[in-house]
Structure 1
């Protein structure tokens, strides 16, 4: 039996990695615990397809594990002088503080798989080199997309970690390309990959997104705030620490660059008594501002409390937001797969988050990252491809045939983003950003026919939630929500003692307890959607019903059945 399983695994490997067929580089054998082990050496360029072959073998054979403990992943070596100029060697030596990089005879890892070349190509440094990119073939792109899609179908949904590369198609240059080739953040619109993540989050395939970007494109694409940790902040959001809980206000412009000409609050840098830079302001500084020496005062005042508003961008030397980091870590630990898109994984602590869990790590980037070998050793995959190309294949594998990367679709989605931006502008941005189940950007019709990653257990429901909606003349939306009986079960409402509707915390009040029919709240007026938590008290002898209703502004009426029994 054991010999048969080893032969089957070899067939999977030979089929997906023909470069290894008939070669003795990798051997299969059983250890004393009867666990299959891979022994030998594999070229890093073949390791992704090898891991996918092992994954398919485990899925088809019922085998529990294939150990990679004795498998060594190697990067092809080259002579430094054959792949660099003299100036590039000087820059490499400067960035790495390694004088061996001055010698053209030095043997190094191939530049496309060498993290030293990634660090040295950072254009924020005056001295930098040309970035080295690679591109995988279509077969590998599709194999990795299928690998990701398979993990998306698991109960929890995957966690996605995004860096500058996901926004490259929007015209925002990465650190490897330089700001001279970038459009302004305020002129950028979300990419197909951004919208695809919203669609996958809607169907339960993506559980959470952790982003290092400050361009705000995840929120503008419609990803709800409770599905996102913006570890380095958001250029479009300013916050008020005087409110409890702290309020967020979204603007259709970069809040730090767009200062008020007549600011109520101001902050400026002056020379302190010790000769160092200090902050002078007409409002109390936060603990973070006093510690870091960086002020975030935008000049605008909170429309609720009157306190000073501050931008949310995290600069070098400042601590990451505690809640965002803790939630990102918690989600990553529980994920069946952590998918990295467009990040070099060179900045801590974000670079460690994808490896917090026990599941594999998939890395999609155009250049080498600081964790390529670590991902492969854990059974993960690497892919040299653009974010849009990969996400297009992933949504196709998940059955979202209508969500194809076409100009017509992008025009529709971009138009909806601009419409929402205009609604924010008309309100002067003084409507707290309430995130949303989809933010009103991705139409529900595009998700029809897609299998849900989380099957709902709703059998013979007696109750239902009904939302009514109509647009207002100023671009906002009027809506109400009620609990009612399903047709033919009019007596079911007699068992309901009370209904609690938990709205977004920006509402005052944010919780409505309705203790007699009709069990209805509203009408309310706003421009963003969110999940309403609904708790139904059925009396002391029956467990309460707790569910979430995702608001939508796509139609005049939406009905959601409520499970009344486990």
Structure 2
């Protein structure tokens, strides 16, 4: 992976077209920051992306923690792992929530940030993506499944907690639509649970270990659309920074790690990553990843 000098103004017109609401000074500042990020990608040997809800809100999936998000309508204290495992009523409430949220996830298409990251990987510019999201949009955009580390699981899959039978979430959602309030395992009738992490549930050990390994080996960590307030997942970018990686944060709101970052960009992830990809393409149009 070669380091290609970045010297282009092509991203300015594209960004102006995408965000005509931006005032000229803000636009120029964001474009300049996108060029800086493109240069960092060009210089990196092991770039890692860390993505949060802000990447998927551009695909129409609401941020659960936003003022008009899911937790504004449902009490998150009712949706703990302990409640799910402890009673039929706890599972009924969970599946009632899932009946609302899963169709939104299922209908969503990869947004500009998902597509840009997949293309960066194809060009040999991205080693992997560590995500807090559960929607599977990184894979649908084209990132290989083994290079997407899902710290909070994946809402499109489910498994039985008793016989380990695995199935598609679509199958279980069909049961809900038929009027069954708590789907059971199709194989043994046991408790079946979506492959997502509930409040009070430990993160998957394998995913955490792989994320830590990738963070320790990274020379560039780019945070996209994460407020970095949900732990332990939010430790990953901090670990990368302390291991020597350059840290870039692209988020609309401030984060606790802004002071440690080499570059902070207050803009939408999709807007910035599309501009980064355009800059890299103009500087080196031939993919390096084959």
Q: TM-score, normalised by structure 2?
A: 0.69
Q: Structure 2 CA distance, aligned partners of 1:384 and 1:193?
A: 15
**What is the aligned counterpart of 2:69 among 179, 184, 189?**
179
**What is the aligned counterpart of 1:148 among 33, 37, 40?**
37
Q: Measure how far apart 1:330 and its partner are.
A: 0.8
Question: Which structure is higher in strand share?
Answer: 1
1:245-256 to structure 2, matched below 5 A, reads 249-251=167-169, 253=170, 255=172
Residue 318 of structure 1: aligned partner? 201
Alpha-carbon displacement from aligned partner over 1:310-357 (angstroms, at most 9, x marks no partner):
311101111001111111111111111111111110111111101212
The root-mean-square deviation of aligned C-alpha atoms, in Å, is 3.5
Q: Is the 8 A contact 2:47 2:218 kept in 1?
A: yes
Residue 207 of structure 1: aligned partner? 127
Q: Structure 1 CA distance, aligned partners of 2:168 and 2:264?
A: 36
Residue 184 of structure 2: aligned partner? 299
Q: Measure how far apart 1:177 and its partner are.
A: 4.0
**What is the aligned counterpart of 2:272 among 390, 393, 397?**
390
Alpha-carbon displacement from aligned partner over 1:412-468 (angstroms, at most 9, x marks no partner):
xxxxxxxxxxxxxxxxxxxxxxxxxxxxxxxxxxxx94341x6x9xxxxxxxxxxxx
Alpha-carbon displacement from aligned partner over 1:159-208 (angstroms, at most 9, x marks no partner):
11111111122222222241379992233221111111111112221111
Q: Give yes or no for the alignment of 1:370 onto 2:223.
A: no
Q: Which has the higher contact order (CA 8 A, sep 6+)?
A: 2
Alpha-carbon displacement from aligned partner over 1:68-104 (angstroms, at most 9, x marks no partner):
xxxxxxxxxxxxxxxxxxxxxxxxxxxxxxxxxxxxx
Q: Is the 8 A contact 1:193 1:392 kept in 2?
A: yes
Unaligned runs of 5+ in 1: 1-58, 60-133, 268-297, 402-447, 457-566
Q: Is the 8 A contact 1:160 1:210 kept in 2?
A: yes
SS of equivalent to 1:156: coil
The 3 A distance-change label for structure 1 pair 348 and 261 is same
SS of equivalent to 1:170: coil
Q: Structure 1 CA distance, aligned partners of 2:195 and 2:176?
A: 14
Q: Is the 8 A contact 1:256 1:311 kept in 2?
A: no
Q: Is the 8 A contact 1:336 1:360 kept in 2?
A: yes
Q: Structure 2 CA distance, aligned partners of 1:227 and 1:137?
A: 34
**What is the aligned counterpart of 1:217 among 130, 137, 145?**
137
Q: Measure how far apart 1:223 and its partner are.
A: 2.1
Residue 49 of structure 2: aligned partner? 160
> Greater CA radius of gyration, 1 or 2?
1
Q: Structure 2 CA distance, aligned partners of 1:222 and 1:247?
A: 27
Q: Is the 8 A contact 2:160 2:185 kept in 1?
A: no
